[in-house]
Structure 1
Amino acid sequence: MMSKAIIREKIRIQIADGLEKEGFKYVKSNERIIRQHKSGFDVIYITVIDYYPIFQIEFGISIRLDAVEEIVNQFLDENFVNPKGKRYTTTIGASYRMLSNTQHNYIEIKNEDELNDAICQLITLIGTKGLSFLEKYHDINLVNEVNKKQLLIPNNYVCYIPQNIMQSLALLKLCNDLDFDALKLKYKELYMTWEGHDDKGKKAIDDLITYLENM
């Protein structure tokens, strides 16, 4: 009988085994498949939603750029990030839907055969699309351009999250982007607060801007 825990563990182990030559390892204590690179690490996420007898497998890949995360995390308290999780925060990522160009952000399975097919599908997807994404966005300048464009899309939901704005500000500064002075003001206008965190989010952004201005 399949269960959420059994499915999740099997997927993680087999994907890590399938990508061992690419440098990935399954770190069970952290529930992540990780590969170190010179600027941080790459991570593969697997989560399983239990709608027994149907299960949905959610998948994503992300990149951590230490230089960015170490700056931003100085200004985020437990209201925004679990202190124990700060060493795992990531800078840019791609979902299953983005990589596969499918309508849904999950793979649905009902039995062992479908699970095995899903694992093969994910390993293939990582090999054909995921690895190239990861290699491309190890370049901090490209990450800066992507994050900046995303935040400037009108009515973009990412502006609800102060971390997104703060990551872009750190990227702008680290890349010596000439747009920093203009965007530090624009981002403060774009920040869409949510109840209970508005003042804390604004303060975190303001404190980060002051820090970056003095770097």
Structure 2
Amino acid sequence: MTAPLRHDGNAGRSDTDPGGDRWRTFSRAIDLERTWLGERKDVRLTLADIESGAPPATPAVDPYWTYGMAPGDDQRGHLSWMRGGDEPWRRENRLLCDMDRDIMQHALEPLCQAHLGMAVTDFAGYWEDHSVSAAHVLLKLWAARHEESAAPPSELHRTALHMALHSLPGAQPEFQDFIERYLRTVLHEWRAIGRHPGEAWVEQTMAIVRSNHSGNTAGRELDRQEDALLDDPD
């Protein structure tokens, strides 16, 4: 069966089920496919084949679907956006006192404590088929760290660097501290593969970032900084 997305799934969780056991049992019995109905988000619900063994792996979150950017949307492929920063959702989670939300927030709190919480809601859609958050890229980079002492930068390394330099307007003071912290964290992962951008490169790059706003040439200058790092690792 199919059903338009017109409800909040949290509404199905009862106060009389604080541990969520009945909700989890229900979620195991239902398969949900996130789809599109034209330009609108839609879902398709089917009964899960519980007797066949382990359920299929849950698909990864598609932020384009979450934010309602349908395939063919003109914004796909060349935008970045932020939804509020980390403090609003942390306060909301504390208010809700929900076990599963607490577990997820606990996992992300080290980022917030390191003043990298904006990475959770800082998204980039530089590709038409997928988009990612800065936190997603950073965690994926950590999880896939190369064992070799030296290796060429992977596409993940390049994506993390590009997000550090381009995903937020660096000319706005409220973003500058986060951008520099995120950039230095990403560059630490570059050093793990034998790339050692010097402090001069970082200072020069951040000076360009602080002048970066829509409509000027700072974006192209930052592209050249990326190229310089790729061409001259030392």
Scaled to the shorter chain, the TM-score interval is 0.3 to 0.5
With CA pairs under 8 Å and 6+ residues apart, which has the higher RCO, 1 or 2? 1
Give the TM-score of the pair, scaled to structure 1: 0.32
Larger proportion of helix: 1
Larger proportion of strand: 1
Structure showing greater radius of gyration is: 2
